[in-house]
């Protein structure tokens, strides 16, 4: 059960983190990743995180412990949501150029 809970938490984190990167990629907006801020990098990063999350769903054996798996996945989504809501990578001072000019709201 511990493995299911940990993998489910990671699924939530990966899927929640994939969403802003994928969206910024398809809307052609810069967003920080470890590999740069370009839309193409974000698109690929978001897609890769969705693929990893899906792979973990298959590996996690969610059916054997559905309630703990759901709770752990939801906690992972919440944790990543709080990370992004609090500034995410922007907290480190790495804002895209247009954010420095005040066009992004906080």
Q: What is the pLDDT along the chain (106 residues), one digit of tens a residue?
A: 999 999 999 999 999 999 999 999 999 999 888 899 999 999 999 999 999 999 999 999 888 999 999 999 999 999 999 998 888 766 555 555 554 444 444 4
For 51, what's the count of Cα atoms within 13 Å in the CB-facing half-sphere? 6
**For residue 85, is it within any domain?**
yes
How far apart, in whole angstroms, are the C-alpha atoms of residue 93 and residue 106?
Answer: 14
Q: How many domains does the chain have?
A: 1
Helix runs in the chain, H state only: 2-26, 39-59, 66-85, 97-100
**For residue 101, is it within any domain?**
no
Cα end-to-end span (Å), the chain:
39
Name the phi and psi angles at 97, rounded to 5: -55, -40
**For residue 106, is it within any domain?**
no
pTM of the complete model: 0.79
């Amino acid at each position: 059960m511990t493995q299911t809970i940990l993998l489910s938490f990671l699924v939530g984190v990966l899927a929640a983190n994939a969403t802003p990167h994928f969206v910024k990629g398809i809307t052609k907006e810069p967003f920080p990743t470890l590999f740069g801020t370009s839309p193409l990098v974000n698109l690929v990063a978001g897609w890769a995180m969705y693929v990893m999350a899906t792979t973990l769903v298959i590996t996690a054996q969610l059916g054997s412990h559905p309630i703990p798996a759901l709770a752990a996945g939801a906690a992972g989504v919440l944790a990543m949501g709080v990370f992004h809501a609090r500034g995410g990578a922007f907290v480190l001072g790495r804002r895209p150029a247009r954010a420095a000019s005040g066009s992004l709201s906080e």
